[in-house]
Amino acid sequence: MPTRRQFLVLSSTAALTGLLSETPAFAAETAQPYASYWHPATILNWDPSTDRDAKYNRSTVPLARRVVPARPANAHARPNEARVQALVAYAPTSANPAQGSLDMNYYATNYWQYIDELVFWGGSASEGLILAPNPTVTDAAHRNGVRVIGNVFLPPTAYGGQIQWVRDFVKREGDRFPVADKMVQVARHYGFDGWFLNQETAGGNTQLANDMRDFIVYMKKSGLRVIWYDAMTDTGSVSWQNALTARNRMFFEQSDEMFMNFWWSAQGLANSAALARQMGRSPYDLASGVDVESSGYNTSVGWASVFPEGRPHVTSLGFYRPEWTFKSATGPADFYTRDNRFWVGQNGDPSNTTTTANWKGVAHYVTELTPITSLPFVTNFNTGHGRKFAVNGTVRSAQAWNNLSLQDVLPTWRWSVTGTGTKVTPSLDWDDPYDGGTALKITGTPQSANDVRLFATSLKLTGASQFEIVHRTGTGPSRLQAVLKIGATDVVLDLGGVSGSWRRSAFPLGEHSGATLTEISLRVLPGAAITALIGRIGVTNPVMTPPASPSNVQVEQVSRIDATTAAARLTWTRSPGARQYRVYKAGTERIFLGGTANDAYFVPAVPLNAGETARIEVEAVSEAFDVSPPATISITGTP
């Protein structure tokens, strides 16, 4: 039976290797691009100009600025103290599709408001030790203001680790570290923020430890972030300290943060915080590790050691494998229920985390952050996966899918509903999306006016600003109002009646020019049972001209999937201001084939018979979801 410490190792070797047997290996003749991984020696040969997958692995979404909400949900949580790291394994090390796949079953991370950094966990001795994140993950994280960190896993010898790999990793050439140079090049080309260094291979000595320290110093000069994992010590041996001590301080001293192993104690954390301050560092640069891979929110955690009641947080928090909420779930609905309990607590309300349960949810301790700090802001409540894909209320694909590059910023509070008596229930719904794969659904029979708090914002309004909402209910009055908190004023907007179809409403906000919008809520007035779907919410400064079409669309490769389906690699030149690009097959029925924020996209399935010629259309979509005229190109199916 593996120990708790060994879970860290097994998940990256035995568990991930087991998954590989179910996945076909990469074949040179196929079009499918995969996420990148290397050994120390092989990364030296990497060149984005010759790597056929490099352009498909780029993230182009900038890191959003985040702020503390004007009215945080939970008075118990403390802002600007502990940060949260999440070490997540999205897929096996190899054969990991770069830009999503045709399957809804995916860990669609969507409680970004509680996460500060996401480490793209993985690596195994047999496949590769240095992992670059999927661009889909980086796109979604950056849109929410979360940094993404690539992973280096130098495994224990018991799981295939070789001390020579560590020596190769830190090998010098004059005053350079060639592997570090390549890792910097990878991060800059792919658009992520730094590297997590997990050195667990035994057999080192003091010289190797010093070389590793110097490697970190060298890499830090690039401006990338470096997170050190508590394993290797100053003697070169592997000895988990579960704290910041004299044995590992030399690595922490040169890194941005350190993830401390799981066996910490209250006294050990207090001593670690004190030593960090003595070094002139914030104690929140230390993350106390919590292994949730096997038990999730059933894991026993000494919360008071990290978050003492009524006092400042001691350190930050690091979750190892929070995707347990997905791995243990029976399906998407169960995953979202588990994920909500993990981050928000068993009451399902970030404003009410009072419970006798040991696991109160991250929202009980850490104040949420919002990335909604600039205009325009538009969300379709798209979670980044779904059973179908709709465009402006029309289903354009019945194919299940996942692609976090297309994920929108989701509600800040899930779910906080005020009112007396029976209240409505908000949820994310995959059955009837307006644009993307998901809509917001509100059901119930409210006995009083219910305010559903949705988005914390920090949006300075202009004379041209407007609030936009697309919604639908049954016949009769909708009994829905939008409530916008602008400065000290609640602006209430009546959404009017609808006839069962999607209705778009726009409300000018010019009279509030110069003021700051800090919150968006929906109010449901009391009455009979209601089922309402909200497909879009936005605050924009409307423009009269759509974005320019992408130019120079090229077909890089077409490959046959089966007798009626092909796959294709497409590239184009970016359009200024494009949020994403959407790809369609034109014809009697316009079929959505996928989308990306990048200027290169792998289309996994084009309905295409042998000898048939299909017209492919690529549209640019702006941040406000204005759409360009399509750029077109033809592809022909081969036998």
Model confidence pLDDT, tens digit, residues 449-474: 999 999 999 999 999 999 999 999 87
Angstrom distance (rounded) from CA 575 to CA 623: 12
Please, which residues have CB within 8 angstroms of residue 46's CB and are 6 or more apart in sequence?
36, 38, 182, 185, 186
What is the arithmetic mean of pLDDT over 178-191?
98
Alpha-carbon gap, residue 226 to 590, rounded angstroms? 46
- Report which secondary-structure segment, H or E, holds 139: helix 135-143
CATH number assigned to the domain with residue range 4-364, chosen from the 4 options 1.10.20.10, 1.10.3470.10, 3.20.20.80, 3.90.105.10: 3.20.20.80
What DSSP element (H or E) covers 219? helix 206-220
How many angstroms separate the first and last alpha carbons of the chain?
52
Sign of CA pseudo-dihedral 43, 46, 52, 53: positive
CA 433, 435, 440: angle at the middle one, nearest 5? 45
Model pLDDT, residue 284:
98
What tens digit of pLDDT does each residue of 114-134 get?
Answer: 999 999 999 999 999 999 999
Residue 4, pLDDT > 90, answer no
In this predicted structure, what is the pLDDT of residue 496?
80
In this structure, the strands spanning 194-199 and 225-229 are: parallel
Of all helices (H) and strands (E), which one includes residue 592? strand 591-596
pLDDT, residue 3, reads 36
We find that the CATH architecture of domain 551-636 is Sandwich (2.60)
If we measure between CA atoms, which residue out of 306, 296, 297 comes closest to residue 264? Answer: 306
* Selection from 440, 431, 369 nearest residue 408 by Cα: 440
Q: Which residues of 530-554 are buried (b: 16+ CB within 10 A; e: fewer)?
A: bebbbbbbbbbeeeeebbbbbeebe
Indicate the domain borders of the chain: 4-364, 377-540, 551-636
Whether pLDDT at 447 is above 80: yes
**Fold (topology level) of 377-540:** Jelly Rolls (2.60.120)
Given a cut of 90, whether residue 15 has pLDDT beyond it is no
**Predicted pLDDT of residue 240:** 97
Query: In whole angstroms, what is the distance from residue 623 CA to residue 232 CA?
Result: 45
* pLDDT of residue 20 exceeding 80: no
Angle between helices 206-220 and 178-190 (to 10 degrees): 40
Residue 479: the pLDDT is 87
Distances (CA, A) of 433 to 108, 382, 410, 425, 523: 17, 8, 14, 18, 21
Sheet with strand 450-460: strands edge to edge = 416-418, 450-460, 516-524, 480-486, 489-494
Q: In this structure, what token pair is assigned to residue 10?
A: 């097994």
What one-letter code names the amino acid at 100? G
The single-letter code of the amino acid at 407 is Q
Query: H-helix or E-strand containing 485?
Result: strand 480-486
The pLDDT score that the predictor gives to residue 9 is 37
Least confident of 326-340, 419-433, 535-549: 535-549
pLDDT at 8 over 80: no
Q: Which among 430, 634, 424 has a CA at the least distance from the CA of 532? A: 424
Neighbours of 331 (CB within 10 A): 9
Distance of CA 558 to the CA centre of its chain: 30
Segment 155-175 shows an average pLDDT of 97
CA gap 135, 143 in Å, rounded: 12
Alpha-helical runs (H) found in 526-634: none
